[in-house]
Amino acid sequence: MKPTPVVSLNPTPVVLANIAAEEGAAGSGEVLREPRVRTLARLFQALFSEPPAFEWLALAPGSAAAWLNTSEAALEAEAQGCRLQGAAPEVVARVHDKAFCHRVAQRESLLPRILRDAFHVFEPGHLTDAEATLARIEEVAAGWPPFIGGRFTLKPRLGTSARGRVAGRVGEDYAAAVRGALPRLAQCGGAVLEPWLERCGDYSSQLHVGEPEGTITLLGTLEQVTAASGVVAGHRGTVDSRGRVTSGSPWDEEVREVALSVALAARDEGFSGPCGVDAFAFDTPEGSRLRGALELNARFTLGTVVLAAVRKALPTLKTRLGLGPGERMHFYFGLDAPASGWPEPDAATRCLFSHQESGDPLHPALWVERDPEVLSRALDAS
């Protein structure tokens, strides 16, 4: 159910930057002290400044927006005289669960054939029996293709930025690490067992499900640039003169198709608002494959921030760099500068849009370049 409408409306819309709310009150407090998360929280709040990059970002009086719609966020919005826009927290919790995306992928045949039976969902109660959990890991991994080599990861069903995972390899000593992680995983809604795959590209699709009409808008696709820890440092992509953004990857069409299937399933569960679907390409002995439905982020994402920044930069790209019909320019948005630093703008080939404010611990910026090789060399060196 949606929160009870508030009688006395606050004329000032409220923005709740509850980044990492999946971690719970204790975990999110620790995460929010991280410099990248503090910067992301500010960028999220700036999404709602005038003029908004997308019409649905315009908050009406008496409304509130949260990074993730949780019951706590709904109560906070109500306490401030506002109604939380978007899906009800119980709907968000259901589709934000990694197991939801996995089940949609199985039902809709969105998984590569070699991964059809490669996963297992653990309910929280299943994780109280460590020996049974370890036996199930061995049983499922026994059916994996040889190239996986028995490597696995056990992910929390509710988590963010690769936190809380435990990895191992069947045949090696991993039991102690798994046993130690089980109480934490149970508190995070359970776990999903997955094979560990050698990635060769990470992608995300950003979408918006309208309320109440349920219209799904594909906002764009992006390539994720990740740090060694697995945390997303930024996104890159291409933009045309109409503001249409793609990842620039040969996988882009499949990434879009799978993301729309997942978003449709979430809408059918009652979801509305912004969301992102993560995907990645991985290597096999027969060539690369795409896992297009990795997880659904039923909330705002860094990708939402990136697409809004690109959209707002579009008029400058047209006037300063001459972006016209039939052309595409390449961009990178990072929460901080790459190792080589942000480049100097160039009137003919490059624009740099700083998103840093006084007191920011990091220097977020949007870098737009005519030559994709210049971007690639800088990011490869980071």
Report the half-sphere exposure of 273 (CA within 13 A, side-chain side).
27
- 236 inside domain: yes
Q: Answer yes or no: is pLDDT of 1 > 60.
A: no
Q: Are residues 88 and 155 in the same domain?
A: no
pLDDT band at 28 (very low <50, low <70, confident <90, very high): low
Q: Are residues 127 and 248 in the same domain?
A: no
Q: Answer yes or no: is pLDDT of 135 > 70.
A: yes
How open is the CA angle 202-205-206, to the nearest 5 degrees?
135
Q: Are residues 209 and 171 in the same domain?
A: no
pLDDT at 212: 87
Q: What is the pLDDT of residues 47-80, one digit of tens each?
A: 999 999 999 999 999 999 999 999 999 999 999 9
Paired tokens of 166: 């435990």
Q: Are residues 203 and 134 in the same domain?
A: no
- 104 inside domain: no
Paired tokens of 216: 């799904």
User: What is residue 65's DSSP assignment?
Assistant: E
When pLDDT is averaged across residues 292-317 and rounded to a whole number, the result is: 97
Measured distance CA(243)–CA(219) in Å, rounded: 10
Q: Are residues 372 and 239 in the same domain?
A: yes
pLDDT at 7: 47
Based on its alpha-carbon atoms, the radius of gyration of the chain, rounded to whole angstroms, reads 21
When pLDDT is averaged across residues 191-216 and rounded to a whole number, the result is: 95
pTM of the model: 0.93
Long-range Cβ pairs for the range 159-165 (8 Å, 24+): 159/22, 159/23, 159/188, 160/20, 160/22, 160/23, 160/31, 161/20, 161/31, 161/230, 161/231, 161/232, 162/229, 162/230, 162/231, 163/23, 163/27, 163/31, 164/188
Q: How many domains does the chain have?
A: 3
Q: Are residues 207 and 191 in the same domain?
A: no
pLDDT at 80: 94
Among 24-38, 101-115, 131-145, 158-172, whose mean pLDDT is lowest? Answer: 24-38
Q: Answer yes or no: is pLDDT of 102 > 60.
A: yes
Containing domain of residue 44, as a range? 14-95
* Beta strand 63-66 pairing with 14-16: parallel
Long-range Cβ pairs for the range 168-177 (8 Å, 24+): 168/137, 170/137, 170/138, 170/141, 170/142, 175/134
188: domain CATH number is 3.30.1490.20
Higher pLDDT, 212 or 222: 222
Q: H or E segment at 123?
A: none
226: domain CATH number is 3.30.470
Report the sign of the C-alpha dihedral through residues 234, 238, 239, 244, in that order: negative
Q: Answer yes or no: is pLDDT of 11 > 90.
A: no
- 75 inside domain: yes
When pLDDT is averaged across residues 256-267 and rounded to a whole number, the result is: 98
Q: Are residues 167 and 44 in the same domain?
A: no
Q: Are residues 121 and 51 in the same domain?
A: no
Q: What is the pLDDT of residues 322-373, one digit of tens each?
A: 999 999 999 999 999 998 899 999 988 999 999 999 888 899 999 999 999 9
Mean model confidence pLDDT for the chain: 92
Closest to 216 measured CA to CA, from 277, 161, 264: 264
Residue 349 phi/psi, 5° resolution? -130, -10
pLDDT at 231: 80
Q: Are residues 23 and 148 in the same domain?
A: no
pLDDT band at 3 (very low <50, low <70, confident <90, very high): low
Question: Which residue reads 């990635």 in tokens?
Answer: 199
